[in-house]
Amino acid sequence: MPSEILHITERSLWEAARESGAYTLSTRGRTLAEEGFIHCSSRQQLPAVAAFLYGSYAGPDELVVLVIDPDRLDVPLRYEAPEPGSEEFPHVYGPIPAAAVVDVEAWEPGPPRS
């Protein structure tokens, strides 16, 4: 299992989740209850995911990347492809405990970091 998985979101949404103890948004504009899981990515997948979801985002909030320790999750983590034969992405099947988020990074678009 990788040492980290990532999720991009708006800072205010993360701050609210931190106060409540768990993060429950699946992706931009969709909740865990609506989607059934929380979309995450690897460090290499993040730039493409961010571009797809946020493009030239000009919202009121700064975008942040939640760095999640899979070993701190108390719900299933599965790697799944959106369609057969395509790249697999990490999906978290339940709320992400705030304690599983080990770092919060400001999102800075650019090439993938190694």
Q: Which domains does the chain have, with CATH numbers?
A: 5-106 (3.20.170.20)
Q: How far, in Å, CA of 80 to CA of 98, rounded?
A: 23
Q: Tell the residue number behind the tokens 């978290």, with chain if given.
A: 92
The structure's pTM equals 0.89
Does the pLDDT value for residue 1 go beyond 70?
no
Place 59 in a pLDDT band, splitting at 50, 70 and 90. confident
Neighbours of 111 (CB within 10 A): 7
The pLDDT tens digits for 20-50 are 999 999 999 999 999 999 999 999 999 999 9
